[in-house]
């Protein structure tokens, strides 16, 4: 696991303070751009941090719910915009208390086993919060939103979920970390969304039955106020420990050329959903 975290150099692209002026669709277009760039050797391993305000990110399966339009209208009435992402998983909540971290890694010759990508992020989060001496488990938390085998939890309550995106020999391992605020209140919004968007219809795909009490934020679980700045500092320290060079950067010229194309692809997918 340390093998993937340890890189000759890490570039950090911090977009955690741009949330109000940075649409979530741009984030997923940016990660695709970074996958293509890092995967083809045009850039070093990159960690990107990002925050979006009052956004529900839906999975592709969510877009097939029988009453998706009514579900999205409900989210809008609660003050949330909704988009459909291009990586795996189901609906998640993004707001000013949720920090997203993307690790973009080159696959090189051997490729990166999918579990190894997940394990790398799990290891990173364990190292970042080691001083609290809490057992951070990676297992599915039934009743959580966007459940998966790499739900991260403390004492049976989920505070983070991990997904992956693979493109052109690049791997983006993405995590959403509920840092502050109420995890159960976020889950209640998703619970109501599914109740409206699914209704009483039978569906081929099994959507989660949300139990809000199984979700919490790190601040709640560690019983101490934790800020995004605190988490950023912990991340930087770990990247520094796992590289010879750590530097803050932005998209390079090659990436700036690629970005419009990848952004357009995810934009078109979402426009099709809006037309349904």
Token pair, residue 260, equals: 């419009």
Written as tens digits, the pLDDT of the chain (276 aa) is 457 899 999 999 999 887 667 788 899 899 999 999 999 999 999 999 999 999 999 998 999 999 999 999 999 999 999 998 876 689 999 999 999 999 999 987 667 788 899 999 999 999 999 999 999 999 999 999 999 999 999 999 999 999 998 888 899 999 999 999 999 999 999 999 999 999 999 999 999 999 999 999 999 999 999 999 999 999 999 999 999 999 999 999 999 999 999 999 888 878 876 665
Q: How many domains does the chain have?
A: 1
Return d(Cα 3, Cα 45) in angstroms, integer.
Answer: 13
Q: Supply the pTM of this predicted model.
A: 0.93
**159: part of which helix (H) or strand (E)?**
strand 157-167
For position 272, what pLDDT does the model report? 75
Active site residue 35: no
Return d(Cα 205, Cα 112) in angstroms, integer.
Answer: 28
For position 1, what pLDDT does the model report? 43
Boundaries of domain holding 107: 2-275
For position 91, what pLDDT does the model report? 95
Catalytic member of 105, 112, 146, 173: 146
For position 109, what pLDDT does the model report? 61
For residue 95, give the CATH number of its domain.
3.30.930.10
Residue with tokens 């990676």: 138
Between the CA of residue 203 and those of 70, 88, 128, 200, what are the distances in Å? 17, 19, 40, 9
- Map residue 104 onto helix, strand or coil: strand
* CB-CB neighbours of 204 under 10 Å: 6
For position 123, what pLDDT does the model report? 96
- Cα dihedral angle (83, 167, 7, 139), rounded to 10 degrees? 60
3-state helix, strand, coil split of the chain in percent (to 5) is 40, 25, 35
For position 247, what pLDDT does the model report? 95
For position 88, what pLDDT does the model report? 67
């Amino acid at each position: 696991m340390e093998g993937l975290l340890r890189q000759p150099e890490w570039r950090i692209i911090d977009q955690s303070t741009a949330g109000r002026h940075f649409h979530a669709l741009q984030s997923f277009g940016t990660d695709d751009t970074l996958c293509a760039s890092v995967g083809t050797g045009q850039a070093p391993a990159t960690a990107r941090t990002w925050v979006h305000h009052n956004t529900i990110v839906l999975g592709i399966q969510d877009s097939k719910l029988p009453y998706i339009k009514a579900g999205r209208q409900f989210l809008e009435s609660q003050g949330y915009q909704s988009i459909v992402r291009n990586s795996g998983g189901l609906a998640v909540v993004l707001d000013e208390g949720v920090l997203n971290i993307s690790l973009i890694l080159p696959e090189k010759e051997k490729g990166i086993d999918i579990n190894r990508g997940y394990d790398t992020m799990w290891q990173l989060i364990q190292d970042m919060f080691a001083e609290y001496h809490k057992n951070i488990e990676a297992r599915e938390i039934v009743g959580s939103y966007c459940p998966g085998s790499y739900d991260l939890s403390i004492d049976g309550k989920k505070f983070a979920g991990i997904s992956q995106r693979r493109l052109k020999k690049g791997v983006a391992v993405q995590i959403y970390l509920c840092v502050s605020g109420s995890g159960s209140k976020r889950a209640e919004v998703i619970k109501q969304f599914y109740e409206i968007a699914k209704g009483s219809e039978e569906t081929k795909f099994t959507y989660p039955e949300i139990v809000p009490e199984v979700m919490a934020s790190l601040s709640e679980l560690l019983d101490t106020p934790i800020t995004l700045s605190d988490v950023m500092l912990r991340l930087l320290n770990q990247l520094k420990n796992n590289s010879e060079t750590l530097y803050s950067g932005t998209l390079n010229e090659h990436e700036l050329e690629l970005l419009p194309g990848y952004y357009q692809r995810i934009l078109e997918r979402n426009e099709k959903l809006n037309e349904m």
